[in-house]
Each structure stands twice: as structure tokens, then as C-alpha cells.
């Protein structure tokens, strides 16, 4: 029925992207409603991007909270866990600010390591942990960079756009990666349009989600194209601001800086993918 409605308005080509559209719409609606109800500074309003991403991703992915077997099944749990953990931290921060500020770095480290452990397949025994250590530490390092780099919704949108471009150029093999990255982008854009801010809930949710998504093709195929695609958002976050600060324009300069920083990785992903038989 919904597909027919899309076609009736001449929007049938957008139907495959409905999860991304839903992510943007959910973030926009959440942000607008809670901003009007409680003001921009409310932590719940600042969760708009995280809520939007969760809505979009859960339209695509199976909700499996047991030990994951298929790679794509590992994606929803970090999103839901980070939503809950971020909400708890947001509530704790105004109630016990000194305690919360002391605990936040430790919580961030635990979240990054937990994401790495989950994406590595939840190894339990010592032998499995040692075998999975490179994956755990690599994903945790990426999550740490994302937690540091996603300072507002603009940064989140830039990282999501870079990842979407890298996955598309690299022809990522594992699941609907490009769609999920575009859903993250739309969630960040929805939060921006609503003016709701980008609070700790959105920051941790998008950081862990984008890190897990970037790791997926590396774990599935591990080719040069996959590594290059995963590097695109990292380069955008690490070098985009420095490049953008040298360019004119309050928004255009940073946007160009992010694009220029991610471009080598996206180009490398495209070149590597062209050599895949």
C-alpha cells in the first residue's frame, strides 16, 4: 500500500530509500516536538539524530540481541545499547555533574571496547579473545575516533556522507551498507533542520553505528576497497576541519574540507573495486 502511494505521487524511485527517509523524518519530528516542549537544551531533544538512526536501521535490519552469527546481525545491538547508555549518561550529567564528568571517559572507553567485542562476534574464551583481539582493538580505535570527532550534527553528517560514498565506490559486499550510511546521514540532517542540537545520546549512537558499519565490509571481505571505504569517514573527521578552516565560507568551507579529506579514500575504494573480478 505504501509503495502504491509513493508511485501515485511519482516518487516510486525513492521507495528503496524509504528507511533513510524514515530516519530523517523521525529525527526531524522528534527534534521539533521535544524542542517545542522542552527547549533546545533538553537532552531528549538532542537525541533526535540517534532516534532517527535507530528508526531507519531497524526498518532494514533484523533485531537480534543474542550472540550474532551473521555479520549484518551485529549492527542493531550497538545502536540500541548506545541509545540506552547515552540516555543514562544524559540523565546523570545534570544530576551529578562532577561524578558524571569523571565517569564519561571510562564510559566512552567501555562503549568503544564493547562495540569492538560485539563486532568481533562476542568471543568468550581466552583463546577466542586473543584471536579476535585485532578486530576488537581496531573497531574500538575507530569508535574512539568517532566519539571524539562527532562534535555536532554537521560532523556526523560529514562522516556518514563520507562512509556512504566510500561504500558505494568500493561496492561493499555485506548487506545494505550504502542505505544504512545514507540513513545515518538523513538522521543527522533531520536533527539539523529541527534545530534540536546534537546531545550525548546522538553522539554515542552515531559514533558506534558508523564505526560498526564501516567495519562490516572489512570483516566480510577485507579487500583493499573495503579498507579504503572504512578510512573515508576517519579521514574526513581527522583532516577535514584543518582543510576547511583555510577555505572561505562559514558552512561551505568546512563542507569542502570534509569532502577533500575523504576524497582520496573514496577514489582508492573505486580503483580497488574496479579490479575485483
Distance, CA of 232 to CA of 261 (rounded, Å): 8
Q: Can you give the pTM of this predicted structure?
A: 0.87
Q: Is 175 left (phi over 0), alpha (psi -120 to 50) or beta?
A: left
* Beta-carbon count within 10 A of 11 CB: 13
> What's the DSSP call for residue 246?
T
pLDDT digits (tens, 9 = 90+) for 48-62: 999 999 999 999 887
10: confidence class by pLDDT, cuts 50, 70, 90: very low
pLDDT digits (tens, 9 = 90+) for 72-96: 778 888 888 888 888 887 777 777 7
Among 61-70, 163-172, 244-253, which is the least confidently predicted range?
Answer: 61-70
Among 113-122, 127-136, 139-148, 247-256, which is the least confidently predicted range?
Answer: 247-256
Spans of all domains in the chain: 18-222
- The larger pLDDT score, comparing residue 88 to residue 129, is at 129
Distance, CA of 253 to CA of 24 (rounded, Å): 24
Amino acid at each position: 500500500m505504501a509503495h502504491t502511494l509513493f508511485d501515485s505521487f511519482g516518487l516510486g524511485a525513492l521507495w528503496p530509500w524509504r528507511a533513510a527517509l524514515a530516519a530523517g523524518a523521525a529525527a526531524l519530528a522528534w527534534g521539533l516536538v521535544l524542542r517545542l516542549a522542552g527547549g533546545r537544551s533538553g537532552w531528549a531533544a538532542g537525541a533526535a539524530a540517534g532516534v532517527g538512526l535507530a528508526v531507519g536501521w531497524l526498518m532494514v535490519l533484523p533485531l537480534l540481541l543474542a550472540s550474532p552469527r551473521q555479520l549484518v546481525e551485529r549492527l542493531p545491538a550497538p545502536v540500541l545499547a548506545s541509545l540506552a547508555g547515552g540516555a543514562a549518561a544524559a540523565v546523570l550529567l545534570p544530576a551529578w555533574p562532577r561524578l558524571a564528568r569523571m565517569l564519561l571517559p571510562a564510559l566512552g572507553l567501555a562503549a568503544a571496547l564493547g562495540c569492538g567485542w560485539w563486532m568481533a562476534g562476542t568471543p568468550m574464551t581466552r583463546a577466542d579473545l586473543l584471536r579476535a583481539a585485532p578486530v576488537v582493538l581496531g573497531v574500538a580505535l575507530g569508535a574512539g575516533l568517532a566519539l571524539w570527532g562527532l562534535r555536532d550534527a554537521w560532523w556526523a553528517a560529514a562522516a556518514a556522507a563520507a562512509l556512504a560514498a566510500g561504500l558505494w565506490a568500493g561496492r561493499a559486499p555485506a548487506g545494505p551498507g550504502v542505505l544504512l550510511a545514507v540513513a545515518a546521514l538523513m538522521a543527522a540532517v533531520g536533527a539539523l533542520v529541527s534545530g534540536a542540537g546534537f546531545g550525548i545520546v546522538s553522539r554515542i549512537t552515531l559514533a558506534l553505528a558508523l564505526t560498526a558499519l564501516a567495519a562490516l565490509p572489512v570483516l566480510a571481505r577485507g579487500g583493499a576497497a573495503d579498507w579504503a571505504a572504512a578510512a573515508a569517514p576517519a579521514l574526513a573527521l581527522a583532516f577535514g576541519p584543518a582543510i576547511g578552516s583555510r577555505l572561505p565560507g562559514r558552512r561551505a568551507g568546512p563542507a569542502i574540507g570534509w569532502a577533500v579529506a575523504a576524497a582520496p579514500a573514496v577514489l582508492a575504494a573505486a580503483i580497488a573495486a574496479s579490479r575485483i573480478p
